[in-house]
Amino acid sequence: IRDGTLMEIAIFSQLIYYVPTLILALIAYIVAMVSNLYKYTQIIVLKWSVLTEWYLNSRYFPNGT
């Protein structure tokens, strides 16, 4: 019985040790994903605005101003 409780305590202490690091890793991963998405959306918006600007210029100023 005592061996079993020792095993449980060992597993529990390992969980206490591992779970916070897992949570931190997950948070870091999510933050990285979000920042990457933000960067990509910024790039896409920038390119889209440049494209629309170029399109409008070509439409309304055919001689290229």
pTM: 0.48
Per-residue tokens: 35 = 């920042």
Q: Render pLDDT for 33-47 as a digit per residue (tens, 0 to 9).
A: 999 998 888 888 999
Which residues lie below 8 Å from residue 56, measured CB to CB, with a gap of 6+? Answer: none
Residue whose pair of structure tokens reads 């690091």 in the numeric block: 21
Mean model confidence pLDDT for the chain: 84
Taking only the tens place, the pLDDT of each residue in 5-19 is 888 888 888 888 888
| Per-residue pLDDT at 15 | 86
pLDDT at 31: 93
